[in-house]
Amino acid sequence: MSKDLLDKYSPTRIVAGPGSLAQLGKLSKELGAARVLVVSDRGVASAGHTRRGLDSLESAGLEVDLYDGVEENPTTIHVGEGLERANAFRPDLLVGLGGGSAMDCAKGINFVYSCGGSMADYHGVGKATSELLPMIGVPTTSGTGSETQSFALISDAATHEKMACGDKRAAFKAAILDPLTTVTQPVQVTAATGIDAISHAVESYVTRQRNDVSKKLSVEAWSLLSGNFQKVIESPEDVDARAAMQLGACLAGLAIEHSMLGAAHSAANPLTARYGVIHGVAVGLLLPGVVRFNSVACEDDYRELCGASSEGSESLASRLEEFRSLSGLPGRLSDCKVNKEDIPLMSLEATGQWTAQFNPREVTPVGFSEIYRAAY
């Protein structure tokens, strides 16, 4: 079922299975590459995954360069550093090897390298002025689903604004889902990225932009993610469960491409910008309250997502809280040292986030204040 959905709806070719990272060189050559710039981070490099990717590329006879300075929530600084490497090396293909940050940074570098200007020029949809270099995504987490999305989230280093930069030409030509790259993750990374993927399945199912395609993808993603989250937390070396989480995150990412996200992500961004709260932690804190907030607008949708036996929004919200508790992530905003007095200002900031407009229930600063206070 999952493979059929990807084959039918994803413009990105998906190569999946344990050890599939070894196919990176072959895939790159099939895309006509001769010079490949790999965009990664030092954590992935220290786990040995970046080296394995480089070895595959070099074994295929390709010239290779590496930018591994990406950090969580990439900014225009990271894009600028990667752009310097690209300008010096002159690649004809980019590889984003790491979590969503590395893949988004690869897209950001590609926008500016291929089209010129600055990252801010691509804030919005369809701003690319020419074709971009082909890219391959290699997610080493089961979270963002960036490998099946045409958007990059890049923060302005000066203002901390998260810029959603989307263009169909920014989609990866291929993606490699190798569950062995996720086995080395610390449990907190597994938990935060897994919660993020789950939030994508939940929010994409009910947005104002949802359609029959996105709903099919969200349901399949929810089934895989909710059915395997506990397994990867309790048995981190369960490769089958890891593979299911990777596939679920990939499907949820593709669902976003057809549907978008909602209030949980809008409310999460100010927490990350102001307090440095990890994105998956922030979304995990807020999503149960958002589900309850939205229940007056989409109770039946939540029931459909979770199956015929579900009791709807309250059942779903409680299950999301159980996932969070099981993972050992913070349970309240107060645990993250969030100042309660900042809630009014964060509510204004959340209202201005791009994804707020897609939430199934209209959400004003008053509504966001309600969501924040419920999580405090």
Whether residue 68 sits in one domain with residue 52:
yes
Can you give the CATH number for the domain in which 152 is found? Answer: 3.40.50.1970
**pLDDT tens digits, residue range 68-79?**
999 988 999 999
Tell me, what DSSP letter sits at residue 153? E
Q: Given this model, what pLDDT does residue 3 score?
A: 80
Whether residue 283 sits in one domain with residue 156:
no
Bridge partners of residue 125, in order along the sequence: 166
Whether residue 194 sits in one domain with residue 91:
no
Identify the residue whose tokens are 């004809």: 92
**pLDDT tens digits, residue range 141-187?**
999 999 999 999 999 999 888 899 999 999 999 999 999 999 989 99
Collapsed DSSP state (helix, strand, coil) of residue 75: strand
Q: Given this model, what pLDDT does residue 101 score?
A: 94
CA dist., res. 339 & res. 349, Å (int)? 15
Whether residue 207 sits in one domain with residue 133:
no
Give Cα separations from 287 to 2, 133, 177, 294, 299 (angstroms).
25, 36, 27, 10, 15
Q: Given this model, what pLDDT does residue 4 score?
A: 87
Domain count, the chain: 2
Residue 135 near residue 110, CB atoms below 8 Å: yes
Q: What is the mean pLDDT of residues 88-106?
A: 97
Per cent of the chain over pLDDT 90 is 93
Q: Given this model, what pLDDT does residue 310 score?
A: 64
Q: Given this model, what pLDDT does residue 21 score?
A: 98
**pLDDT tens digits, residue range 301-317?**
999 998 755 678 999 99
Q: Given this model, what pLDDT does residue 374 score?
A: 96
Identify the residue whose tokens are 């996720």: 182
Whether residue 162 sits in one domain with residue 229:
no
Give Cα separations from 63 to 35, 109, 132 (angstroms).
5, 19, 19
**pLDDT tens digits, residue range 15-64?**
999 999 999 999 999 999 999 999 999 999 999 999 999 999 999 999 99
Whether residue 128 sits in one domain with residue 14:
yes
CA dist., res. 248 & res. 2, Å (int)? 8
Q: Given this model, what pLDDT does residue 309 score?
A: 59
Can you give the residue range of the structural domain that contains 81?
2-181
Asked which of 181, 204, 222 is the last residue of a domain, the reply is 181
CA dist., res. 257 & res. 279, Å (int)? 19
Can you give the CATH number for the domain in which 216 is found? Answer: 1.20.1090.10
CA dist., res. 1 & res. 50, Å (int)? 31
Whether residue 192 sits in one domain with residue 88:
no
Identify the residue whose tokens are 């919005």: 124
**pLDDT tens digits, residue range 235-286?**
999 999 999 999 999 999 999 999 999 999 999 999 998 999 999 999 999 9
Q: Tell me the DSSP string of 154-223.
A: EE-TTT-PEEEEE-GGGS-SEEEE-GGGTTTS-HHHHHHHHHHHHHHHHHHHHSTT--HHHHHHHHHHHH
Residue 134 near residue 112, CB atoms below 8 Å: no
Q: Given this model, what pLDDT does residue 67 score?
A: 98
Whether residue 353 sits in one domain with residue 231:
yes
Whether residue 194 sits in one domain with residue 149:
no
Q: Given this model, what pLDDT does residue 307 score?
A: 76
Average pLDDT in the chain: 95
